Amino acid sequence: MPELQRLRADHAPALLAFERENRAYFARSVPDRGDAYFAEFADRHQALLDEQATGRIHFHVLVAEEGEVLGRVNLVDVEDGSAELGYRIAEKAAGRGLATAAVRRLAELARASYGLTRLTARTTLDNPGSRAVLTRTGFVSTGDLVLDGSPGTSYELLLGAA
């Protein structure tokens, strides 16, 4: 079973490979990161690690036994006991329950290690896989929204005290 690991400097090559291999797949459901993301990846990766050290974000990768990155599961905008969840799973790993397991594990870390009491998430209505992951992991819908020009839903998960 792949392991959820906190993002580190040595994840950079496998993470870049993951993003390149899945670029077209991800662009079907979320806005493309753009060419600059890939051209400036090393600097961006270091900037994320620097920001992670402040506690304002918590980035994680889902790593297979051989070191391949199969997904990302992140907490951003950490403030006042709350954070926004985001995740993406490799096309070849989709549909195997990895996103659900990773989101459950990150929710545990959010409460126990990061002291968070509430997670939020957003997804478009045309992304049934993401909506299913959120529902299976205990998130509840908190309302409709427009996300990148498409109709969507916001979600919340209350974690309780650490």
**How confident is the model at residue 11, as a pLDDT?**
97
**CATH code of the region 3-158:** 3.40.630.30
At residue 17, the 3 state secondary structure works out as helix
The per-residue pLDDT for range 122-137, each reduced to its tens digit, is 999 988 999 999 999 9
Q: Can you give the pTM of this predicted structure?
A: 0.92
Average pLDDT of span 1-22: 96
The domain spans of the chain are 3-158
Tokens of 123: 């997804």
What SS3 class is residue 62? strand
Exposure b/e, 71-89, CB count within 10 A at least 16 = b? bbbbbeebeeebbbbbbbb
Q: What is the pLDDT of residues 105-160, one digit of tens each?
A: 999 999 999 999 999 999 999 889 999 999 999 999 999 999 888 899 999 999 98
How many Cα atoms are found within 13 Å in the side-chain-facing hemisphere of 37?
11
